[in-house]
Chain A
Amino acid sequence: MNIEELRERMPLYIIGALPQEQMLAISRVLADDPALIAEMRLALMLRQEMEANLPEPPPLPRAIYAQEERPTLMPAAARRSIQQLQQAAGLTRATLRLVGNWI
């Protein structure tokens, strides 16, 4: 792991999100490099600073639940469609019967 790669992984190292092997490798390099330790200190301070006093997020937008708040719309539409299909089927049956009688 070169210094550039180590720098890129430093934020993940701080939160312990790297595989154990990489955590150990970075710890070894840091132990011998005061400049990198200073960088890690800065990274830690940045993390603390940026996470401090962050407001709680507002709730999800209500529009996401809009469909759920109108649950009767779909069944009503479906019921109407079924009724229309039944009426059409009844008409077709009656027509076929008439044609059959006529023949």
Chain B
Amino acid sequence: MEQDDLRLAQQKNPHAFERLVAPYLRGLYGFIVHRVGEEAEDVYQDALLSAWHSIGRYTGGSSLKTWLYAIAGNKCMDHLRKKYRTPHMTELDERTAGPGFEEQSDRTLDLHSAMETLASQDKALLYLVYAQGMTVAQAAQVMDIPEGTVKSRLFTLRKRLRNTLEGGTP
């Protein structure tokens, strides 16, 4: 069924494309919300339009889910680059916005508060792995970073969140 829809979508049948991507849309939108926040809708539309235009070139090298998320990841990066000029500045802005870890280190934070203090890139990575069940390799492909970086970042984030939940310094 998915193969039939893929073939039809590659022949520019919009309904087949819709059926093909439908199982991934909620998760995909969630990823974009975690990555870019309020402007998620524009990035989501842009990513899906891009997927529609390039579905003809999809060869099945990676799963359709990973392929879609990778397109969305690129669109998020484009969006953040435009917004903050460079991704490095994005991370800085996000880390310095709102109450930071330093200010809250003297009290126990719940997980929600702890998540709020994370950079969007870290939140998106946690989302891919813990909510979407992606492997390190898949998350690395979507985020366009090396697998080793994903592993070390996950290690650091787990440690930080665990410390936070235990009431220690994150």
Contact = CB atoms under 8 A, between A and B. Distances in A.
Contact of B158 (A14, A39, A54, A64): A39
Contact of A46 (B26, B29, B161): B161
Interface in B104-127: 111-112, 115, 123, 126-127
A77 to B, nearest CB: 16
A47 B131 CA distance: 5
Interface string A57-76: 11011011101100000000
Interface string B21-40: 10001101110011000000
Interface in B33-69: 33-34, 41, 44-45, 48-49, 52
Interface of A: 8, 11-12, 14-15, 17, 38-39, 42-43, 45-47, 49-51, 54-58, 60-61, 63-65, 67-68
B33 A55 contact: yes
Contact of A50 (B17, B34, B135): B34
B136 interface: yes
B29 A67 contact: no
Given A46-B126, A47-B130, A8 B33 contact: no
B137 to A, nearest CB: 9
Interface string B141-170: 000000000000000001001100100000
B130 A50 contact: yes
B45 A51 contact: no
B14 A54 contact: no
Given A38-B162, A65-B14, A46 B130 contact: yes
A61 B45 contact: yes
Contact of B126 (A8, A50, A67): A50
B129 interface: yes
